[in-house]
Protein backbone atom coordinates (compact mmCIF):
# COMPACT_ATOMS: atom_id res chain seq x y z
CA UNK A 1 0.00 0.00 0.00
CA UNK A 2 1.49 3.36 -1.03
CA UNK A 3 1.56 6.63 0.91
CA UNK A 4 -1.52 8.01 -0.81
CA UNK A 5 -3.59 4.96 0.07
CA UNK A 6 -2.31 5.08 3.63
CA UNK A 7 -3.42 8.71 3.80
CA UNK A 8 -6.89 7.71 2.59
CA UNK A 9 -7.13 5.02 5.27
CA UNK A 10 -6.14 7.58 7.89
CA UNK A 11 -8.88 9.90 6.66
CA UNK A 12 -11.36 7.04 6.94
CA UNK A 13 -10.40 6.41 10.55
CA UNK A 14 -10.64 10.09 11.44
CA UNK A 15 -14.07 10.37 9.80
CA UNK A 16 -15.83 7.70 11.86
CA UNK A 17 -17.64 10.10 14.23
CA UNK A 18 -18.94 12.18 11.33
CA UNK A 19 -20.11 8.99 9.63
CA UNK A 20 -21.94 7.73 12.69
CA UNK A 21 -23.85 11.01 12.84
CA UNK A 22 -24.77 10.68 9.16
CA UNK A 23 -25.89 7.10 9.69
CA UNK A 24 -28.06 8.14 12.63
CA UNK A 25 -29.68 10.76 10.40
CA UNK A 26 -30.41 8.15 7.73
CA UNK A 27 -31.78 5.66 10.27
CA UNK A 28 -34.23 8.24 11.60
CA UNK A 29 -35.86 8.50 8.15
CA UNK A 30 -38.35 5.63 7.93
CA UNK A 31 -37.94 3.93 4.54
CA UNK A 32 -39.29 0.48 5.36
CA UNK A 33 -40.97 -1.16 2.39
CA UNK A 34 -43.81 -1.60 1.97
CA UNK A 35 -44.92 1.14 1.69
CA UNK A 36 -41.54 2.79 0.93
CA UNK A 37 -42.11 6.37 1.99
CA UNK A 38 -39.50 9.13 2.21
CA UNK A 39 -37.01 7.96 -0.40
CA UNK A 40 -36.94 11.58 -1.53
CA UNK A 41 -35.88 12.67 1.98
CA UNK A 42 -33.02 10.16 2.15
CA UNK A 43 -31.87 11.10 -1.34
CA UNK A 44 -31.98 14.77 -0.35
CA UNK A 45 -29.60 14.15 2.56
CA UNK A 46 -27.23 12.13 0.38
CA UNK A 47 -27.39 14.53 -2.55
CA UNK A 48 -26.17 17.37 -0.36
CA UNK A 49 -23.16 15.31 0.74
CA UNK A 50 -22.26 14.28 -2.82
CA UNK A 51 -22.63 17.81 -4.14
CA UNK A 52 -20.21 18.95 -1.44
CA UNK A 53 -17.71 16.37 -2.74
CA UNK A 54 -17.99 17.76 -6.26
CA UNK A 55 -20.14 15.00 -7.76
CA UNK A 56 -22.72 15.78 -10.43
CA UNK A 57 -26.02 14.54 -8.97
CA UNK A 58 -29.43 13.84 -10.41
CA UNK A 59 -32.67 12.43 -9.02
CA UNK A 60 -34.67 9.90 -11.00
CA UNK A 61 -38.20 8.85 -10.12
CA UNK A 62 -39.38 5.60 -11.65
CA UNK A 63 -42.22 5.87 -14.15
CA UNK A 64 -45.66 4.33 -13.83
CA UNK A 65 -44.50 1.43 -16.00
CA UNK A 66 -41.92 0.45 -13.38
CA UNK A 67 -44.39 0.91 -10.55
CA UNK A 68 -46.69 -1.53 -12.33
CA UNK A 69 -43.83 -3.99 -12.89
CA UNK A 70 -42.99 -3.66 -9.18
CA UNK A 71 -46.44 -4.95 -8.27
CA UNK A 72 -47.22 -1.68 -6.48
CA UNK A 73 -50.95 -2.39 -6.25
CA UNK A 74 -50.47 -5.88 -4.82
CA UNK A 75 -47.66 -5.02 -2.42
CA UNK A 76 -49.03 -1.69 -1.19
CA UNK A 77 -46.34 0.71 -2.36
CA UNK A 78 -46.85 4.42 -1.74
CA UNK A 79 -44.89 7.58 -2.37
CA UNK A 80 -42.32 8.59 -4.99
CA UNK A 81 -39.70 6.01 -5.99
CA UNK A 82 -36.80 8.47 -5.91
CA UNK A 83 -33.30 7.31 -6.86
CA UNK A 84 -30.07 9.31 -6.60
CA UNK A 85 -27.29 9.06 -9.17
CA UNK A 86 -23.98 10.78 -8.33
CA UNK A 87 -21.19 10.93 -10.92
CA UNK A 88 -17.54 11.87 -10.61
CA UNK A 89 -15.77 12.37 -13.91
CA UNK A 90 -12.25 10.97 -13.95
CA UNK A 91 -9.18 12.50 -15.55
CA UNK A 92 -9.29 9.87 -18.30
CA UNK A 93 -7.75 6.52 -19.07
CA UNK A 94 -9.66 4.31 -16.65
CA UNK A 95 -12.86 2.25 -16.69
CA UNK A 96 -16.22 3.26 -15.24
CA UNK A 97 -17.10 1.79 -11.84
CA UNK A 98 -20.66 1.66 -10.51
CA UNK A 99 -21.21 1.33 -6.74
CA UNK A 100 -24.74 0.69 -5.52
CA UNK A 101 -26.35 0.77 -2.07
CA UNK A 102 -30.11 0.73 -1.51
CA UNK A 103 -32.07 3.19 0.60
CA UNK A 104 -35.06 1.05 1.57
CA UNK A 105 -35.18 -1.25 4.59
CA UNK A 106 -37.03 -4.37 5.57
CA UNK A 107 -40.28 -3.91 7.50
CA UNK A 108 -40.08 -3.07 11.21
CA UNK A 109 -41.68 -5.66 13.47
CA UNK A 110 -43.90 -4.00 16.06
CA UNK A 111 -42.77 -6.21 18.94
CA UNK A 112 -39.42 -7.48 20.19
CA UNK A 113 -37.16 -4.44 19.88
CA UNK A 114 -35.17 -3.43 22.97
CA UNK A 115 -34.15 -0.13 21.30
CA UNK A 116 -35.92 2.39 19.09
CA UNK A 117 -35.68 0.90 15.56
CA UNK A 118 -35.42 4.44 14.16
CA UNK A 119 -33.17 5.79 16.90
CA UNK A 120 -29.59 5.03 15.90
CA UNK A 121 -28.52 4.27 19.46
CA UNK A 122 -24.79 3.60 20.01
CA UNK A 123 -23.48 1.09 22.59
CA UNK A 124 -20.07 -0.30 23.46
CA UNK A 125 -21.04 -3.94 22.89
CA UNK A 126 -23.76 -6.07 21.29
CA UNK A 127 -25.56 -8.68 23.35
CA UNK A 128 -26.04 -10.74 20.19
CA UNK A 129 -22.37 -11.44 19.56
CA UNK A 130 -19.23 -9.77 18.37
CA UNK A 131 -18.08 -8.72 14.94
CA UNK A 132 -14.82 -10.24 13.78
CA UNK A 133 -13.70 -6.65 13.09
CA UNK A 134 -14.60 -5.24 16.52
CA UNK A 135 -11.70 -3.25 18.01
CA UNK A 136 -13.77 -1.60 20.72
CA UNK A 137 -15.43 1.00 18.50
CA UNK A 138 -18.96 0.15 19.56
CA UNK A 139 -22.20 -0.81 17.83
CA UNK A 140 -24.98 1.21 16.26
CA UNK A 141 -28.62 0.05 16.30
CA UNK A 142 -31.68 0.49 14.10
CA UNK A 143 -33.62 -0.87 11.14
CA UNK A 144 -31.40 -0.89 8.09
CA UNK A 145 -28.10 -0.34 9.89
CA UNK A 146 -26.77 -3.56 8.39
CA UNK A 147 -29.06 -3.65 5.35
CA UNK A 148 -28.40 -1.21 3.84
CA UNK A 149 -27.94 2.22 5.43
CA UNK A 150 -24.70 1.20 7.11
CA UNK A 151 -23.28 0.41 3.68
CA UNK A 152 -24.56 3.74 2.36
CA UNK A 153 -22.69 5.55 5.14
CA UNK A 154 -19.55 3.45 4.65
CA UNK A 155 -19.54 4.31 0.94
CA UNK A 156 -19.70 8.03 1.67
CA UNK A 157 -16.95 7.66 4.28
CA UNK A 158 -14.70 6.03 1.65
CA UNK A 159 -15.38 8.67 -1.00
CA UNK A 160 -15.00 11.57 1.43
CA UNK A 161 -11.61 10.17 2.48
CA UNK A 162 -10.51 9.87 -1.16
CA UNK A 163 -11.46 13.52 -1.67
CA UNK A 164 -9.80 14.64 1.57
CA UNK A 165 -6.55 12.90 0.64
CA UNK A 166 -6.45 14.75 -2.68
CA UNK A 167 -6.82 11.62 -4.83
CA UNK A 168 -7.66 12.20 -8.50
CA UNK A 169 -9.19 9.13 -10.15
CA UNK A 170 -8.54 8.32 -13.80
CA UNK A 171 -11.75 6.40 -14.43
CA UNK A 172 -15.32 7.59 -13.91
CA UNK A 173 -17.25 6.74 -10.76
CA UNK A 174 -21.02 6.32 -10.70
CA UNK A 175 -22.76 5.96 -7.33
CA UNK A 176 -26.44 5.14 -6.85
CA UNK A 177 -28.72 5.32 -3.84
CA UNK A 178 -31.60 3.25 -5.17
CA UNK A 179 -34.93 2.21 -3.72
CA UNK A 180 -37.08 -0.90 -3.30
CA UNK A 181 -34.35 -3.57 -3.21
CA UNK A 182 -36.20 -5.47 -0.50
CA UNK A 183 -39.20 -6.02 -2.79
CA UNK A 184 -37.36 -6.62 -6.06
CA UNK A 185 -35.66 -3.34 -6.97
CA UNK A 186 -37.67 -2.95 -10.17
CA UNK A 187 -38.36 0.77 -9.61
CA UNK A 188 -34.89 1.28 -8.18
CA UNK A 189 -31.73 -0.10 -9.73
CA UNK A 190 -33.80 -2.02 -12.26
CA UNK A 191 -35.19 1.24 -13.60
CA UNK A 192 -31.81 2.99 -13.60
CA UNK A 193 -29.98 0.25 -15.50
CA UNK A 194 -32.74 -0.92 -17.84
CA UNK A 195 -33.39 2.66 -18.97
CA UNK A 196 -29.68 3.27 -19.58
CA UNK A 197 -29.38 5.94 -16.90
CA UNK A 198 -26.52 3.97 -15.32
CA UNK A 199 -23.87 2.25 -17.42
CA UNK A 200 -20.50 0.96 -16.24
CA UNK A 201 -17.69 -1.50 -16.91
CA UNK A 202 -17.38 -2.81 -13.33
CA UNK A 203 -19.66 -2.98 -10.32
CA UNK A 204 -19.76 -3.18 -6.54
CA UNK A 205 -23.02 -4.04 -4.79
CA UNK A 206 -22.86 -2.92 -1.17
CA UNK A 207 -25.58 -5.17 0.20
CA UNK A 208 -23.85 -8.06 1.91
CA UNK A 209 -21.60 -8.56 4.89
CA UNK A 210 -17.95 -8.74 5.81
CA UNK A 211 -18.19 -12.52 6.22
CA UNK A 212 -17.91 -13.20 2.49
CA UNK A 213 -17.89 -11.79 -1.03
CA UNK A 214 -21.17 -12.52 -2.77
CA UNK A 215 -20.96 -13.77 -6.34
CA UNK A 216 -24.24 -15.60 -6.85
CA UNK A 217 -27.91 -15.18 -5.98
CA UNK A 218 -31.20 -16.70 -7.03
CA UNK A 219 -33.85 -15.00 -9.07
CA UNK A 220 -37.48 -14.99 -8.06
CA UNK A 221 -40.95 -14.54 -9.45
CA UNK A 222 -43.80 -13.62 -7.12
CA UNK A 223 -47.06 -15.06 -8.42
CA UNK A 224 -50.63 -14.33 -7.34
CA UNK A 225 -52.95 -17.32 -7.83
CA UNK A 226 -56.71 -16.94 -7.58
CA UNK A 227 -59.36 -19.67 -7.70
CA UNK A 228 -63.06 -19.00 -8.34
CA UNK A 229 -66.00 -20.98 -7.04
CA UNK A 230 -69.73 -20.68 -6.40
CA UNK A 231 -71.02 -19.48 -3.05
CA UNK A 232 -73.78 -21.43 -1.32
CA UNK A 233 -74.99 -22.33 2.15
CA UNK A 234 -72.28 -24.24 3.99
CA UNK A 235 -74.69 -26.99 5.04
CA UNK A 236 -75.54 -27.64 1.40
CA UNK A 237 -72.03 -27.51 -0.11
CA UNK A 238 -73.02 -29.92 -2.87
CA UNK A 239 -74.78 -26.97 -4.53
CA UNK A 240 -71.69 -24.77 -4.49
CA UNK A 241 -68.13 -24.85 -5.78
CA UNK A 242 -65.55 -24.43 -3.01
CA UNK A 243 -62.71 -22.16 -4.13
CA UNK A 244 -60.54 -23.19 -1.17
CA UNK A 245 -60.87 -26.87 -2.12
CA UNK A 246 -59.82 -26.01 -5.67
CA UNK A 247 -56.81 -24.08 -4.37
CA UNK A 248 -55.91 -27.08 -2.21
CA UNK A 249 -55.73 -29.24 -5.33
CA UNK A 250 -53.40 -26.74 -6.96
CA UNK A 251 -51.22 -26.65 -3.87
CA UNK A 252 -50.82 -30.43 -3.79
CA UNK A 253 -49.54 -30.22 -7.37
CA UNK A 254 -47.27 -27.26 -6.56
CA UNK A 255 -45.78 -29.10 -3.60
CA UNK A 256 -45.04 -32.11 -5.80
CA UNK A 257 -43.54 -29.81 -8.45
CA UNK A 258 -41.24 -28.23 -5.86
CA UNK A 259 -40.06 -31.36 -4.10
CA UNK A 260 -39.76 -33.68 -7.09
CA UNK A 261 -38.78 -31.29 -9.88
CA UNK A 262 -37.36 -28.02 -8.61
CA UNK A 263 -35.18 -29.44 -5.82
CA UNK A 264 -33.41 -31.49 -8.49
CA UNK A 265 -32.80 -28.43 -10.65
CA UNK A 266 -29.35 -27.13 -9.73
CA UNK A 267 -26.79 -24.73 -11.13
CA UNK A 268 -23.24 -25.77 -10.10
CA UNK A 269 -21.11 -22.90 -8.82
CA UNK A 270 -17.67 -24.30 -7.99
CA UNK A 271 -15.70 -22.19 -5.54
CA UNK A 272 -18.78 -20.41 -4.15
CA UNK A 273 -19.98 -21.39 -0.68
CA UNK A 274 -23.69 -21.30 0.20
CA UNK A 275 -23.18 -21.93 3.90
CA UNK A 276 -23.16 -24.77 6.37
CA UNK A 277 -26.88 -24.59 7.11
CA UNK A 278 -27.83 -25.23 3.49
CA UNK A 279 -25.17 -27.92 3.11
CA UNK A 280 -26.85 -29.79 5.98
CA UNK A 281 -30.03 -29.75 3.88
CA UNK A 282 -28.19 -31.05 0.83
CA UNK A 283 -28.03 -27.67 -0.93
CA UNK A 284 -24.59 -26.64 -2.16
CA UNK A 285 -25.46 -24.41 -5.13
CA UNK A 286 -28.42 -22.50 -6.61
CA UNK A 287 -31.40 -24.87 -6.51
CA UNK A 288 -34.99 -24.42 -7.66
CA UNK A 289 -37.33 -23.40 -4.86
CA UNK A 290 -41.02 -22.67 -4.26
CA UNK A 291 -42.85 -21.19 -1.30
CA UNK A 292 -46.59 -20.76 -0.77
CA UNK A 293 -46.42 -17.60 1.29
CA UNK A 294 -49.99 -16.47 1.92
CA UNK A 295 -53.52 -17.80 1.46
CA UNK A 296 -56.82 -16.00 1.91
CA UNK A 297 -60.36 -17.20 1.29
CA UNK A 298 -63.86 -17.53 2.60
CA UNK A 299 -66.05 -15.39 4.83
CA UNK A 300 -67.25 -17.88 7.47
CA UNK A 301 -67.61 -21.59 8.07
CA UNK A 302 -71.29 -21.69 7.10
CA UNK A 303 -70.70 -20.35 3.58
CA UNK A 304 -69.11 -22.08 0.61
CA UNK A 305 -66.21 -19.77 -0.39
CA UNK A 306 -66.37 -18.45 -3.94
CA UNK A 307 -62.86 -16.94 -3.91
CA UNK A 308 -59.42 -18.01 -2.69
CA UNK A 309 -56.18 -16.16 -3.30
CA UNK A 310 -52.56 -16.92 -2.48
CA UNK A 311 -49.05 -15.68 -3.12
CA UNK A 312 -46.41 -18.09 -4.37
CA UNK A 313 -42.72 -17.27 -4.65
CA UNK A 314 -40.79 -19.28 -7.22
CA UNK A 315 -37.03 -19.25 -6.65
CA UNK A 316 -35.21 -19.27 -10.01
CA UNK A 317 -31.70 -20.59 -10.59
CA UNK A 318 -29.35 -18.49 -12.75
CA UNK A 319 -30.26 -18.83 -16.40
CA UNK A 320 -33.97 -19.32 -15.78
CA UNK A 321 -36.01 -16.55 -17.36
CA UNK A 322 -39.26 -15.07 -16.21
CA UNK A 323 -41.00 -16.17 -19.44
CA UNK A 324 -39.92 -19.78 -19.04
CA UNK A 325 -40.72 -19.82 -15.33
CA UNK A 326 -44.21 -18.45 -15.88
CA UNK A 327 -44.94 -20.93 -18.68
CA UNK A 328 -43.78 -23.89 -16.57
CA UNK A 329 -45.76 -22.70 -13.55
CA UNK A 330 -48.91 -22.38 -15.64
CA UNK A 331 -48.36 -25.88 -17.04
CA UNK A 332 -48.49 -27.29 -13.49
CA UNK A 333 -51.76 -25.48 -12.80
CA UNK A 334 -53.24 -26.50 -16.16
CA UNK A 335 -52.43 -30.12 -15.40
CA UNK A 336 -54.72 -29.95 -12.37
CA UNK A 337 -57.41 -28.03 -14.23
CA UNK A 338 -57.53 -30.78 -16.88
CA UNK A 339 -58.72 -33.22 -14.19
CA UNK A 340 -61.43 -30.98 -12.72
CA UNK A 341 -64.04 -29.29 -14.90
CA UNK A 342 -65.12 -26.99 -12.04
CA UNK A 343 -61.63 -25.63 -11.36
CA UNK A 344 -61.17 -22.05 -12.51
CA UNK A 345 -57.98 -20.16 -11.76
CA UNK A 346 -56.33 -16.85 -12.59
CA UNK A 347 -52.58 -16.24 -12.54
CA UNK A 348 -50.93 -12.84 -12.14
CA UNK A 349 -47.30 -11.82 -11.72
CA UNK A 350 -46.54 -9.42 -8.90
CA UNK A 351 -42.90 -8.88 -9.89
CA UNK A 352 -39.71 -10.73 -10.81
CA UNK A 353 -35.95 -10.48 -11.12
CA UNK A 354 -33.55 -13.06 -12.49
CA UNK A 355 -30.61 -14.78 -10.82
CA UNK A 356 -26.92 -14.45 -11.57
CA UNK A 357 -23.49 -15.97 -11.10
CA UNK A 358 -20.11 -14.30 -11.35
CA UNK A 359 -17.72 -17.29 -11.57
CA UNK A 360 -15.22 -17.75 -8.77
CA UNK A 361 -12.54 -17.71 -11.48
CA UNK A 362 -13.54 -14.26 -12.75
CA UNK A 363 -10.42 -12.00 -12.77
CA UNK A 364 -12.30 -9.01 -11.33
CA UNK A 365 -13.73 -11.09 -8.48
CA UNK A 366 -10.30 -12.51 -7.67
CA UNK A 367 -8.70 -9.07 -7.76
CA UNK A 368 -11.41 -7.62 -5.50
CA UNK A 369 -10.90 -10.43 -3.00
CA UNK A 370 -7.19 -9.72 -2.91
CA UNK A 371 -7.81 -6.00 -2.47
CA UNK A 372 -10.32 -6.56 0.32
CA UNK A 373 -7.79 -8.80 2.07
CA UNK A 374 -5.14 -6.11 1.70
CA UNK A 375 -7.54 -3.50 3.09
CA UNK A 376 -9.01 -5.39 6.08
CA UNK A 377 -6.45 -8.12 6.78
CA UNK A 378 -8.80 -11.05 6.20
CA UNK A 379 -9.29 -13.29 3.17
CA UNK A 380 -13.02 -13.57 2.65
CA UNK A 381 -14.59 -16.60 0.95
CA UNK A 382 -16.72 -16.34 -2.17
CA UNK A 383 -20.34 -16.88 -1.17
CA UNK A 384 -23.78 -17.29 -2.68
CA UNK A 385 -27.35 -16.98 -1.47
CA UNK A 386 -30.73 -18.49 -2.25
CA UNK A 387 -32.18 -15.02 -1.78
CA UNK A 388 -31.97 -12.38 -4.50
CA UNK A 389 -30.25 -9.00 -4.67
CA UNK A 390 -30.06 -5.91 -6.88
CA UNK A 391 -26.72 -7.16 -8.19
CA UNK A 392 -28.73 -9.08 -10.80
CA UNK A 393 -29.39 -5.78 -12.59
CA UNK A 394 -25.67 -5.04 -12.73
CA UNK A 395 -24.72 -8.53 -13.94
CA UNK A 396 -27.71 -9.59 -16.08
CA UNK A 397 -28.92 -6.26 -17.46
CA UNK A 398 -25.79 -4.13 -17.12
CA UNK A 399 -23.37 -6.88 -18.26
CA UNK A 400 -20.72 -5.88 -15.73
CA UNK A 401 -18.63 -8.13 -13.48
CA UNK A 402 -19.57 -7.34 -9.92
CA UNK A 403 -18.93 -8.27 -6.28
CA UNK A 404 -21.15 -7.94 -3.23
CA UNK A 405 -20.08 -7.22 0.34
CA UNK A 406 -21.10 -4.87 3.11
CA UNK A 407 -21.73 -4.54 6.83
CA UNK A 408 -23.11 -7.12 9.24
CA UNK A 409 -23.05 -10.82 9.93
CA UNK A 410 -24.66 -13.38 12.24
CA UNK A 411 -24.50 -10.97 15.21
CA UNK A 412 -26.30 -8.12 13.44
CA UNK A 413 -29.89 -9.49 13.22
CA UNK A 414 -30.46 -8.29 9.68
CA UNK A 415 -34.21 -8.07 8.94
CA UNK A 416 -34.89 -8.99 12.57
CA UNK A 417 -35.48 -7.14 15.81
CA UNK A 418 -32.55 -5.26 17.32
CA UNK A 419 -30.65 -4.94 14.05
CA UNK A 420 -27.16 -3.64 14.80
CA UNK A 421 -23.73 -3.25 13.24
CA UNK A 422 -20.18 -2.82 14.44
CA UNK A 423 -18.82 0.67 13.83
CA UNK A 424 -15.34 -0.78 13.36
CA UNK A 425 -16.74 -3.09 10.70
CA UNK A 426 -18.35 -0.14 8.94
CA UNK A 427 -14.93 1.53 8.86
CA UNK A 428 -13.29 -1.60 7.46
CA UNK A 429 -15.96 -1.81 4.77
CA UNK A 430 -15.13 1.77 3.80
CA UNK A 431 -11.45 0.87 3.49
CA UNK A 432 -12.29 -2.04 1.17
CA UNK A 433 -14.44 0.23 -1.01
CA UNK A 434 -11.76 2.91 -1.14
CA UNK A 435 -8.95 0.55 -2.10
CA UNK A 436 -10.94 -1.17 -4.86
CA UNK A 437 -12.03 2.22 -6.22
CA UNK A 438 -8.50 3.61 -6.33
CA UNK A 439 -6.83 0.51 -7.74
CA UNK A 440 -9.47 -0.23 -10.39
CA UNK A 441 -10.03 3.33 -11.58
CA UNK A 442 -6.40 4.33 -11.28
CA UNK A 443 -4.90 7.36 -9.58
CA UNK A 444 -3.25 10.24 -11.36
Structural domain contains residue 276: no
- 112 is a domain residue: yes
Q: In 10 A of CB 286, how many CB atoms?
A: 29
**313: pLDDT confidence band, cut at 50, 70 and 90?**
very high
The helix/strand/coil state of 69 is helix
CA distances for 178 relative to 54, 157, 172, 202, 316, angstroms: 20, 18, 19, 17, 23
Residue 189 has pLDDT above 90, yes or no: yes
64: pLDDT strictly greater than 80: yes
Answer whether 0.85 is exceeded by the pTM: yes
Say if 212 falls within a structural domain: yes
* CATH code assigned at 397: 3.40.630.10
Q: Specify the pLDDT at position 4.
A: 92
Is the pLDDT at 1 greater than 80, yes or no? no
138 lies in the same domain as 226: no
Q: Which helix (H) or strand (E) holds 209?
A: none
pLDDT digits (tens, 9 = 90+) for 15-41: 999 999 999 999 999 999 999 999 999
pLDDT tens sequence across 342-373: 999 999 999 999 999 999 999 999 999 999 99
373 and 327 fall within a common domain: no
Residues 230 and 158 in one domain: no
Q: Are residues 193 and 233 in the same domain?
A: no
**Same domain assignment for residues 22 and 127:** yes
Contact in structure between 16 and 427 (CB atoms under 8 Å): yes
* Residues 72 and 156 both lie in one domain: yes
Task: Give the whole-angstrom CA distance, residue 179 versus residue 185.
Answer: 6
As a whole number of angstroms, the distance between CA 42 and CA 179 comes to: 10
Residues 28 and 43 in one domain: yes
DSSP 8-state code for residue 444? -
Task: Specify whether the CB–CB gap between 122 and 172 falls below 8 A.
Answer: no
Is 106 within 8 Å of 211 (Cβ atoms)? no
Q: Does 76 sit behind a cis peptide bond, omega within 30 degrees of 0 on the bond before it? A: no
- In terms of Cα–Cα distance, which of 152, 137, 126 is closest to 43? 152
On whether both 417 and 344 belong to a single domain, the answer is: no
Question: How far is it, in rounded angstroms, from Cα 392 to Cα 252?
Answer: 32
- Give how far Cα 298 sits from Cα of 223, 279, 345, Å: 20, 40, 16
Tell me if residue 291 falls in helix, strand or coil: strand
Question: What is the structure's pLDDT at 12?
Answer: 98
78, 202: one domain: yes
Final residue before a domain boundary, out of 352, 380, 413: 352
Answer whether 403's CB lies under 8 Å from 127's CB. Answer: no
Alpha-helix residue ranges (DSSP H) falling in 129-283: 149-164, 191-194, 243-260, 276-280
Model confidence at 376, pLDDT cuts 50, 70, 90, reads very high
Q: b/e for 221-256, b at 16 or more Cβ within 10 A?
A: bbbbbbbebebbebeeeeebbbbbbbbebbbebbee
pLDDT tens, residue by residue, 68-125: 999 999 999 999 999 999 999 999 999 999 999 999 999 999 999 999 999 999 999 9
pLDDT higher than threshold 80 for residue 404? yes
CB 356 within 8 A of CB 216: yes
**Number of independent structural domains in the chain:** 2
52, 94: one domain: yes
The 3-class SS string of 103-157 reads CCECCCCCCCCCCCCCCCCEECCCCCCCCCCCCCCCEEECCCCCCCHHHHHHHHH
Q: Could you give phi then psi for residue 220, rounded to 5 degrees? A: -160, 145
Range of the domain at 285: 219-271+281-352
324 and 359 part of one domain: no
For 237-249, what is each residue's pLDDT tens digit?
999 999 999 999 9
CA distance 104 to 143: 10
Mean pLDDT of 210-233: 97
Spatial separation of the C-alpha atoms in residues 361 and 304, rounded to whole Å:
58
Q: Which of 326, 352, 378 is the last residue of a domain?
A: 352
Render pLDDT for 276-289 as a digit per residue (tens, 0 to 9): 999 999 999 999 99
Residue 288 CA: distances (Å) to CA of 98, 242, 264, 311, 353:
30, 31, 7, 17, 14
Q: Do 105 and 250 reside in the same domain of the chain? A: no
Within-domain flag for 107: yes
- Segment 390-407 shows an average pLDDT of 97
Q: Which of 289, 309, 394, 307 is nearest to 350 (CA)?
A: 309
> Domain with 310 in it: what CATH number?
3.30.70.360
What average pLDDT is seen over the chain? 97
Distance CA 211, CA 18 (A): 25
Residue 65 confidence (pLDDT) above 90? yes
Vertex 171 angle, CA 167 and 172, to 5°: 100
* Torsion angle, alpha carbons of 97, 182, 325, 284, to 10: 80
Measured distance CA(345)–CA(340) in Å, rounded? 11
Task: Give percent of the chain above pLDDT 70.
Answer: 100
Q: Is 222 left (phi over 0), alpha (psi -120 to 50) or beta?
A: beta
CA–CA separation, 287 and 404 (whole Å): 20
pLDDT tens profile 318-336: 999 999 999 999 999 999 9
Rg (CA), the chain: 23
Region 423-435: mean pLDDT is 98
Residue 279: φ, ψ to 5°: -60, -35
Of the candidates 212, 65, 67, which has an alpha carbon nearest to the alpha carbon of residue 132? 212
Q: Given this model, what pLDDT does residue 160 score?
A: 98
Residue at a domain's end among 308, 327, 352: 352
Q: How far apart are CA 126 and CA 418, in angstroms?
A: 10
DSSP 38: -
What average pLDDT does range 385-393 have in this prediction? 95
Edge-to-edge strand list for the sheet holding 420-422: 122-123, 139-141, 420-422
Nearest to 175 by CA among 443, 437, 438: 437
Amino acid sequence: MDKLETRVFGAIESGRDRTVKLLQKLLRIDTQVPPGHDYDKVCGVLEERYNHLGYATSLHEATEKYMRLSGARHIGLEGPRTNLVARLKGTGGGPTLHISAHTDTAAIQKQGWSVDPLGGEVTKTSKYGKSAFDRGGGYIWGRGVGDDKGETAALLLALEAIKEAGVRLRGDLVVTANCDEEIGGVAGLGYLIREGIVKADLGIQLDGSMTGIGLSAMGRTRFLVRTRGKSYHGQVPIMGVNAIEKMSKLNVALDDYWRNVLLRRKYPTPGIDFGEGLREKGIECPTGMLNIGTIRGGVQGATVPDLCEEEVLRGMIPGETYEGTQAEFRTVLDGVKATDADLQYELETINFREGYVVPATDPYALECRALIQEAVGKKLPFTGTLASTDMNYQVVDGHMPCVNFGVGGPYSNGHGQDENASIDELVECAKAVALITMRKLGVQ
